[in-house]
Amino acid sequence: MFSSEDTGLTKAQQRKAYDKQYRASRKARKRELVDMHQTVLDAEHARKPGSSVEIGFKAKRINRSGECKNLPYEYAYILKACEEFIDNPKRFPSLQTNDGQAVNNIQCRRLIARVMATMLPYTDLIGGRVGEANKAHFDTISYDFLQEE
């Protein structure tokens, strides 16, 4: 951040300038990822003409390098359940019993399904840890990383 002696701005103005710069960089990164997603889909369509390549709630994932890879088949069942949860609020009964009022709202279910579909490919299905798998351990995932996914 800037120091108030150097720029002559108050702390509030400095914060405002920093937030503006941060939002602009996040927006640029988001556009870059959307363009990469579209490029990968176009390449898949060119490679397999006539096929419908979807990334949504499928067991596929686009790496940060732009490569489309298939996830293990177990994730297909889990991601299908997340997709079913949007139309069926009783798909995950434990969510219904904990706080049924929020789960009755379809917009809330859509957001919950998207978050679960984003986090689950990075989750160890047996241990329940979230992160990127290495040979020795799991590396943690940052909030920005999850937001980009």
d(CA 80, CA 59): 9
Predicted confidence pLDDT, tens digits, the chain (149 residues): 454 455 678 999 999 999 999 999 988 988 887 888 788 878 877 888 876 666 677 777 777 777 777 777 888 888 888 888 888 888 888 877 766 677 888 898 888 888 888 777 766 655 555 566 555 555 666 656 666 66
- Residues in the chain, how many? 149
Between the alpha carbon of residue 148 and those of residues 47, 69, 84, 91, 120, the distances in Å are 26, 17, 24, 27, 15
By the 8 A CB rule, do 106 and 91 touch?
Answer: no
Q: What is the distance between the alpha carbons of residues 11 and 82, in angstroms, rounded to a whole number?
A: 44
CA angle 34, 40, 44 (to 5 degrees): 145
- Tell me how far apart the alpha carbons of residues 148 and 136 are, in angstroms, rounded to a whole number: 26
Instruction: State the pTM of this model.
Output: 0.59
Q: What pLDDT, on a 0 to 100 scale, did the predictor assign at position 4?
A: 45
Q: What pLDDT sits at residue 141?
A: 63
